[in-house]
């Protein structure tokens, strides 16, 4: 799939404020600093796109972008930049609000095809990431894992960390969803991720949602 255009649409505090769920949607989430903005910019070929979500007031909101909305050749789809987890500075109340907003978003957003959960490929398996996946599992939300910043390790270190993470997942999960390895410096993983999104787009049936 080619990205012909990518535009910022809206930032929502509630799922009811999100755009009509008439297009396939892909959400991106991870710990702060995991490389989410860089990945979104790489995927969309737009060096500034995800900067919008980092502007004051939008870091705690659900940020929608429309991809390929102005061209008929490819299916238009929504890219969603979700607020990250693991901010030490957030208060208990802020964390509870984040949890509620995401619980509603994940459980009510009927056009959501998958959640790309970003994991820093330099780290050994982290409790906070595994806990988040367990939460997605409880909600029954499909997800895929994206190991980021692969250029910061040797290939074998990246492979070892990715394997260690998947092995930890296998303790809890029977089925391990597809994983991706990315580097925004080397443009690694872009084609694979866009190809995967294209496959899921092809299966999207707007009539099923309308009905
Ligand atoms: P976010 O907080 O998750 O949106 O993370 P950012 O995209 O802002 O990235 C955090 C830091 O990691 C920045 O300094 C990026 O330049 C750097 N970064 C992100 N992705 C990569 C990558 O693939 N390779 C390298 N070397 N650095 C990266």
Residue 211 lies in a domain: no
- Note the pLDDT tens digit of each residue in 147-200: 999 999 999 999 999 999 999 999 999 999 999 999 999 999 999 999 999 999
DSSP 60-75: TSEEEEEESTT-SSS-
pTM for the whole structure: 0.95
For 46, the domain range is 6-200
Concatenated DSSP letters of 147-203: EE-GGGS-HHHHHHHHHHHHHHHHTT-SSPPPEEE-BTTTTBTHHHHHHHHHHHHHH
Q: If you count DSSP H runs as helices and E runs as strands, how many of each does the chain have, helices first?
A: 6, 7
Q: What is the DSSP letter of 143?
A: E
Total of domains in the chain: 1
Residue nearest to atom 17 of ligand 1 (CA): 35
Considering the domain boundaries, does residue 117 fall inside one?
yes
| Maximum pairwise Cα distance, the chain | 49
* Residue 152 near ligand 1, beta carbon < 6 Å: yes
CATH number at residue 20: 3.40.50.300
Query: Which of 30, 38, 55 for a ligand 1 pocket mutation test, highest count of atoms within 8 Å of Cβ?
Result: 38
């Amino acid at each position: 799939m080619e990205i012909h255009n990518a535009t910022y649409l809206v930032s929502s505090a509630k799922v009811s404020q999100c755009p009509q769920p008439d297009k396939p949607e892909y959400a991106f989430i991870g710990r702060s600093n995991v490389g989410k903005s860089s990945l979104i910019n790489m995927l969309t070929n737009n060096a500034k796109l995800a900067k919008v979500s980092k502007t004051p007031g939008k870091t705690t909101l659900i940020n929608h972008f429309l991809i390929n909305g102005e061209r008929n050749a490819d299916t238009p789809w929504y890219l969603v930049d979700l607020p990250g987890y693991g901010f030490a500075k957030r208060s208990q109340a802020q964390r509870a609000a984040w949890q509620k907003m995401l619980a509603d978003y994940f459980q009510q957003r009927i056009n959501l095809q998958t959640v790309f959960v970003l994991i820093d490929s330099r780290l050994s398996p982290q409790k906070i990431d595994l806990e988040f996946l367990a939460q997605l599992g409880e909600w029954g939300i499909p997800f895929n894992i994206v190991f980021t910043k692969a250029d910061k390790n040797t290939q074998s270190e990246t492979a070892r960390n990715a394997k260690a993470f998947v092995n930890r997942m296998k303790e809890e999960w029977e089925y391990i969803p597809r994983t991706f390895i990315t580097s925004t410096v080397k443009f690694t993983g872009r084609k694979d991720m866009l190809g995967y999104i294209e496959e899921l787009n092809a299966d999207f049936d707007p009539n099923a949602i309308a009905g």
